[in-house]
Structure 1
Amino acid sequence: MIFSKSAIWLLCALLLLSVFMANLLNIIATDQNFYSDNKNLSVNYTKHLERKIGQITDTSENLIWFLQISDIHISIFRDPGRITQFQQFCDSTVKKIKPMAVLASGDLTDAKAKDNLGSSQVKQEWVYYSSIIKESGVTADTIWLDIRGNHDNFNIRSINSEENYFKNYSVQGPNHPKSYLHVLEKNGVSLAFVGIDACPEPGLRRPFNFIGMLDAQEQQMLEKLKKEAESKADYIVWFGHYPTSCIISIEKDSERLDLRQLIGSSPASRAYLCGHLHAMGGLVPKMYTKQKRGFLELELEDWKDNRMYRLAAIDHGHFSFVDQKHNVWPLVLVTNPKHARYNLPGREPLNLIHSSTYIRIIAFSDVNIDMVKVSFDKDSWMNCLHKEGPLYVCKWLPHLFNNGLHYLYVAATDELGREAFLKHPFSLDGTSVYFEIIPRILLMVNGGTVFQSIFGTLLIINVLPLVILRFHKTPPKIRRRYGYNFVKRVWLLSKIDRVFWPIVLYAIYLPFGPWAIGKLLDEHIGVIFAWGIVIKGVFLPEPFTYMYGGVQLMFIQIPLVHILAYCLEIRLFKSNIRGARRLIMQLPFIFLLSIQLLLAYFFWLEYGTLSFLFGPLRTWSVVLTILLWYRTITLPVDYCSKLRKLDQTPT
């Protein structure tokens, strides 16, 4: 059977797509069972917990709860509500919930200039943060565990520099400037919190600090903290600012720490709690997954714009959580039976749920709770009995729910008549509820690899078609007229040496040559490459540069080829047009040039005059664009004649 070229290309595309999808699905698979992969370790650990806990009853023993808040972004230039409502959170919310700890997982301050482009530490923002915590007295009743985020590391030369206000104005900074361990014991629960500081040193100005980095020293520290946590606590909760997908470990002596491997290697690890991604602007509000090593990774939507916080609990060895908007009451969390999506086989004593005698719920409000009730069918409701503190219990018969997925409905009402209602899936036979695809991709795929892949793909799209068309004696045959005319224009453009070579060579230059030389830190000049940044004699393998270059390729270089091809058509076949109509025909170029000038201006605001002058990526590309446009619209007459004859060659 003879296949057409289109069919062959389609088959190749489908093959590549199927390989890509197979690899992606393997990367984001969440059906790994820690128990089956680590049977002996899991059996010993869960048996130890079962012996220690005994049975799930109606007391507050073996119950502990805590809060998380992330991406506060205290700013003196924008949105005063961040400060006033953060003060309410400390003055009221924390005191009503009375958590054993509050995790503040980075970006405590905004550190952005009034123009929203420049970035540097603002002392007054740190003073606000420190004053609110001190004046609220929140640390007298709970443990406040804060850690740095990338905004808290803007324009900081080293961890010991004066501009690193975290070490003086945070709660943990004076004693723990980077990663640290805190062990909490209450109600028969020993819980270790491991804070991961992945801020690179030095800390550059934005935007080249999106990815967190763990150097050799910090990798050794985390391994030490993990061993210490295992020796002191039954459960470990890890927290930091960056998701694991946005953290790279710097290799030293052919060794590199796999952070997910480190967290997952301990059966005591329950979850890694983070922020940083701001729920992708609110588009992915529940960014949760279970990593291949069997622990949960839970990104928390930001406080900055959405005023979100998280309530989490460990009840009889089972980890549960709920994310809540500020000032929305009542706040309700079911701790037994465990939510089916978040079961952790091999890490939690799930067998205890089978023999438990009580449904267990913790409920809070800023006023008294009037009633908590539960139902399995939304028709027959049972009132829960209030025990100590926020704990509400109701007797149940778990053997009635041995098979399949079931739902528990919970309604809580406070004395102001406000009601919270939730639908809680659970299973006793391991039936699970799947995690959504997009959160899994964002949290499980390596961010640096994604940025490199996007940049590489755009580079190929920018260069390969031009090179292929240059070697074609005639434009490729395309059935659709519009497509054929479009390809023909680019084909003609590829024949012009004075345009073809600058476009191709500039694109080839981007993966290798410096993009800018300038003050990436106050008083320190650095060099930006696609593959990283060199400053202060230190190489920072910052993968976000690939995304930054990808913007140039996607929105400047690729459109430039199309616009030049369009200008060439005007020069060859519409040169007799004059006046306003000719100006209108150049509007695409004017629009593209405006975007380039705007990007170059933003780069100047971010990194100063030196980087603007010595900036091949942004500033020099403006000059190149103008030069190529001018060469195209002023193409010599003899060149035009050759191209017209070429266009008339029979196909």
Structure 2
Amino acid sequence: MIFSKTAISLVCVLLLLSVFMANLLKIIATDHNFYAENQSEGANFTSYLGEKYGKINDSPHNLIWFLQISDIHISIFRDPGRISQFQQFCDSTVKKIKPHIVLATGDLTDAKAKDNLGSSQVKTEWVYYYNIIKESGVTEHTTWLDIRGNHDNFNIRTLNAQENYFRNYSVQGSTNSRSYVHIVKHNGVSVAFLGIDACPEPGLRRPFNFIGILDAQEQQVIQRLKTVAESNADHIVWFGHYPTSCILPLQQDSEKIDVRQFMGNTKGSQVYVCGHLHSMGGMVPRMYTKHKKGYLELELGDWKDNRMFRLAAIDHGLFSFVDQKHNTWPLVLVTNPKHARFTLPGREPLQLMPQSSHIRILAFSDVKMESVKISFDNISWMKCKGTNKPLFVCLWLPHVFKAGVHKLYVSAVDEMGRKTDVEHLFSLDGSVVPFEIIPRILLMLDAGVVFQALFGTLIMINVLPLVILRLQKRPPKYRRKYGRQILRRVWLLSKIDRVFYPIVLYAIYLPLGPWAVGELIDGYIGAIFAWGILIKGSFIPEPFTYMYGSVQLMFVQIPLIVVLAHCLETRLFCQNIRSYQRLLKNLPFIFILSIQLLLAYFFWLEYGTLSFMFGPLRTWSVALSILLWYKTLTLPPELCRYLTRLNETPS
């Protein structure tokens, strides 16, 4: 049987797509049985925790809770509500909830210029942060653990630079300038809060400060902190600014060590909490996953625009959490039975849930709580007893729910009549609730690899079609009329040496040559390449450069080929049109040129005049586009006749 080229191409595409999907699903799989692979170790550890904590009843013991806030972005140029409501959070919310720890996971200040593109540390913003915490007295009621984010590292030459205001205006900066561990032993629970500072050194201005980097020195620090944590605590809560998908692999003895493996191989690891991605502008509000090593990663929505914070608790070794919008009361967290989606076999004593005598709920409000009720059918309700507020308990019969996933309904009302209803899924036999797929992709893929793959794909799209079409002697065949016209135009364009070679050579240059040379940090000249950045005699492997170059390819270079092909048609077949019609024919190029000029202008605001002048990626490409457009519209008559004859060649 003879197969058509289209059928063979379709089969190849489907085969590649199936391989890609299989690999993707393998990477983001959350059903990996960590407990089965580490059964002996996990059983011993959870057995130890079970014996230590004993039966879950109505006692307030063996319970600790803490808060997280992230991406505050205190700014003197925009949204004063960030500052005033953050002050309210410190003055009121923290004091009402009375957590043992508050984690502030980076981007404490905005560090962006008034034009929203330039970036540098603004001392006034740090003074606001410092004064709010000091004047609120929040550190007298709880332990405040803050850590740097990428915005807190913009335009900082060294860790000891004067501009590194984190050292002097944060709570932890004077004693813990980078990664550190804090041990809490309270109410029968011992927890190590281990903060990871993955900010690169030196800290570039935006946007090339998106990916976290743990160098060899910081890796050694974290290794020591890990040993301290394992020796002094039963539970480890990791915290930092960057999600693990945005942290480059560690280097140890010339071998790459994945930070996820590093955390997962630590005894007692339960969760890594972070920020940075801002819940993708609020589009992915529940960015949670469980890694193959059996611990959770939870990205928290930002304070900047969404005013989110997180309440988390460890109750008899069981980790639970809820994300809440500021000034939304009552705040309710069910700690037993814990949510079925977030169970951690081998890392927490899940065997205590089916043996428990009471349902346990934390309920907070800025006024007195009136009542907390529970139901399993949303019809008949049982009132919970407030034994030691904020803990509310209620007797239950867990053996009734021994198989499958069940729903627990909670209704909490405060004395102002405000009501919060919670639908809580739980299981006692190991039945799980799956994680959403988009959060798994965002947290479990490697952002650097994705950026690099996208850039490489776009380079090939920019080059290969032109090369293939140039080698073809006849116009390409295509069934649909509009697609056939575009292919024929690009085919003709590929035959013009003065256009073909500059486009192809420019695309080949992008992965190899410098994109810009300029003052990337105040007082320091550096060079930006696709594969990283050279500055101060050091190399920063910043993968976000690939994404930056992908924008140029996607929105400028690839559309430019189609636009030039359209301009070629104007040159060959539209000689006798009127001037306004000729202008309309050139509108697509004017649009592409406008995008280029805008991108070049943004680059000038980000990195200054020197980078703008010596910038092949943004600035010089504008001149190249104008030159190619001019050459296309001013082809010599003999070349026009040659192309006209080619166009008349049958497909």
* TM-score when normalising by structure 1: 0.99
Q: SS where residue 282 of structure 1 aligns?
A: coil
**Cα distance in structure 2, aligned partners of 1:2 and 1:208:** 52
Identity %: 71
- Whole-Å Cα distance in 1 between the matches of residues 500 and 37 of structure 2? 55
Matches within 5 A, 1:153-164: 153-164=153-164
Is this contact kept in 1: 2:230–2:267, CA < 8 A?
A: no
Matched residue, 1:23: 23
- CA distance, structure 2, for counterparts of residue 512 and residue 111 of structure 1: 32
Q: Secondary structure at the match of 1:251?
A: strand
Q: What's 2:584 paired with? A: 584
Give me the whole-angstrom Cα distance separating, in 2, the residues matched to 1:177 and 1:575. 68
Q: Secondary structure at the match of 1:380?
A: coil
CA contact (8 A) 2:250 2:259 kept: no
Query: For 1:649 and 1:116, how far apart are their aligned partners in 2?
Result: 53
3-state secondary structure, aligned to 1:276:
coil
Residue matched to 2:457:
457
- Structure 1 partner of 2:506: 506
Give the Cα separation in 2 of the matches to 1:553 and 1:314: 48
Deviation at 1:444, TM superposition (A): 0.1
Deviation at 1:252, TM superposition (A): 5.2
Give, as a single letter, the amino acid of the residue that structure 2 aligns with 1:321. Answer: F
The aligned counterpart of 2:64 is 64
User: Which secondary structure state, in structure 1, belongs to the residue aligned with residue 620 of structure 2?
Assistant: helix
On the 8 A contact 1:34/1:347 being kept in 2, the answer is: no
What corresponds to 1:338 in structure 2? 338
Structure 1 segment 387-398 matched on structure 2, within 5 A? 387-398=387-398
Residue 200 of structure 1 aligns with which residue? Answer: 200
Deviation at 1:249, TM superposition (A): 3.1
Other-structure match for 1:280? 280
1:263 aligned residue: 263
- Structure 2 counterpart of 1:100: 100
1:144 aligned residue: 144
CA contact (8 A) 1:57 1:357 kept: yes
Superposition pairs for residues 319-330 of structure 1, below 5 Å? 319-330=319-330
1:428 and 1:561 mapped to 2: Cα distance?
A: 60
Seen in structure 2, the aligned counterparts of structure 1 residues 160 and 447 have a Cα distance that, compared at 3 Å, is same
Instruction: Name the SS for the 2:303 alignment partner.
Output: coil
Distance 1:613 1:214 in 2: 33
Look up the equivalent residue of 2:81 and give its one-letter code: G
> Which residue does 1:627 correspond to in 2?
627
Q: CA shift at 1:581, angstroms?
A: 1.3
Contact 1:219 1:257 in 2 (8 A): no
Q: How does 1:176-575 map to 2 (within 5 A)?
A: 176-251=176-251, 253-575=253-575
Bigger drift between 525-534 and 46-55 goes to 46-55
User: In the aligned structure 2, how far is the partner of 1:211 from the partner of 1:513?
Assistant: 22
Count, aligned residues: 651
> Aligned equivalents of 1:159 and 1:254: distance in 2?
25
Tell me the amino acid that sits aligned with residue 200 of structure 1: P
Structure 1 position 34, deviation (Å): 2.0
Aligned to 1:324, the other structure's residue is in SS state strand
Partner SS, residue 213 of structure 1? coil
**Aligned runs of 1:115-126 on 2, under 5 Å?**
115-126=115-126
Task: Give the Å deviation of 1:35.
Answer: 1.2
**AA paired with 1:515?**
W
Moved more, 296-305 or 218-227: 218-227
The alpha carbon displacement at 1:648 in A equals: 1.0
1:225-248, Cα deviation, whole Å (9 max, x unpaired): 111101000100000000000000
1: CA distance, partners of 2:562 / 2:482 = 14
**Distance of 1:367 and 1:644 partners within structure 2:** 82
Letter aligned with residue 144 of structure 2: W
Q: What displacement does 1:43 show?
A: 1.4
Residues 39/7 of structure 1: CA separation in 2 closer, same or farther (3 Å cut): same
Superposed CA offset, 1:179-235 (max 9, x none): 000001111001100000000000000000000000001111111111110100010
Q: Which 4+ stretches in 1 moved above 6 angstroms?
A: none
Structure 2 CA distance, aligned partners of 1:540 and 1:590? 36
Task: Give the Cα–Cα distance (whole angstroms) in 2 for the partners of residues 646 and 428 of structure 1.
Answer: 74
Distance of 1:606 and 1:423 partners within structure 2: 46
Secondary structure at 2:32 match in 1:
coil
Distance in structure 1 (CA, Å) of the matches to 2:143 and 2:282: 29
- 2:3 matched to 1:38? no
Tell me, yes or no, if the aligned pair for 1:119 and 1:154 is still in contact at 8 Å: yes
Secondary structure (helix, strand or coil) at the match of 2:281 reads helix
Cα distance in structure 1, aligned partners of 2:86 and 2:105: 14
What is the CA–CA distance in structure 1 between the aligned matches of 2:585 and 2:648, rounded to whole Å?
24
1:99-151 residue CA offsets vs partner (Å, 9 max, x unmatched): 00000000000000001010000000000000000000000010000000000
* Secondary structure, aligned partner of 1:74: coil
Instruction: Give the letter aligned to residue 13 of structure 2.
Output: A
Q: How does 1:599-618 map to 2 (within 5 A)?
A: 599-618=599-618
What SS does the corresponding residue of 1:475 show, helix, strand or coil? coil
Name the SS for the 1:455 alignment partner: helix
Report the alpha carbon displacement of residue 251 of structure 1 after superposing the two structures with TM.
3.0
Amino acid at match of 1:568: L
| Counterpart Cα distance in 2 of 1:277 and 1:581 | 46
Measured in 2, the distance between the counterparts of 1:577 and 1:482 equals 22
1:258 deviation in Å? 1.8
* TM-score where L is the length of structure 2: 0.99
For 1:493 and 1:190, how far apart are their aligned partners in 2?
Answer: 70
Q: Is the 8 A contact 2:129 2:169 kept in 1?
A: yes
Q: How far apart are residue 33 of structure 1 and its match?
A: 2.1
| Secondary structure of 2:304's aligned partner | coil
Q: Which has the larger displacement, 247-256 or 279-288?
A: 247-256
Larger deviation: 573-582 or 102-111? 573-582
Question: How far off its partner does 1:54 sit?
Answer: 1.0
Letter in 1 for 2:609: T
Q: 2: CA distance between counterparts of 1:460 and 1:255?
A: 30
Equivalent residue letter for 1:275: G
Instruction: Tell me, in whole angstroms, the C-alpha distance in 1 between the residues paired with 2:234 and 2:34.
Output: 17
**Mapped partners of 1:305, 1:471: distance in 2:** 53
Secondary structure, aligned partner of 1:256: strand
Any conservation in 1 of the 2:405–2:426 contact (CA below 8 Å)?
yes
- Alpha-carbon shift at residue 492 of structure 1 (Å): 0.2
C-alpha displacement at 1:250, in angstroms?
Answer: 5.0
Contact 1:33–1:346 (CA<8 Å) still a contact in 2?
no
Unaligned runs of 5+ in 2: none
**Distance (Å, rounded) in 2 between the aligned partners of 1:221 and 1:476:** 60
Deviations along 1:495-522, whole A, 9 cap, x unmatched? 0000000000000000000000000000
Distance 2:7 2:169 in 1: 65
Deviations 1:534-554 (A, max 9, x none): 000000000000000000000
Aligned to 1:55: 55
Deviation at 1:39, TM superposition (A): 1.5
- Amino acid paired to 1:335: T
Give the Cα–Cα distance (whole angstroms) in 2 for the partners of residues 259 and 173 of structure 1: 23
Once the two structures are superposed, residues 452-483 of structure 1 have per-residue CA deviations (whole angstroms, 9 ceiling, x without a partner) of 00000101100000000000001111111111
Quick check: 1:211–1:544 contact (8 Å CA) kept in 2? yes
Check conservation: 1:215, 1:249, Cα contact below 8 A.
no
Shift of 1:360: 0.2
Q: Distance in 2 between matches of 1:425 and 1:597?
A: 53
Give the AA of the match of 1:459.
I
CA contact (8 A) 1:563 1:589 kept: yes
Cα distance in 2, alignment partners of residues 479 and 445 from structure 1 = 38
- Equivalent residues of 2:475, 2:649 under 8 A apart: no
Structure 1 unaligned regions, length at least 5: none
Counterpart residue identity of residue 105, structure 2: S
1:243 is matched by which residue type in structure 2? P
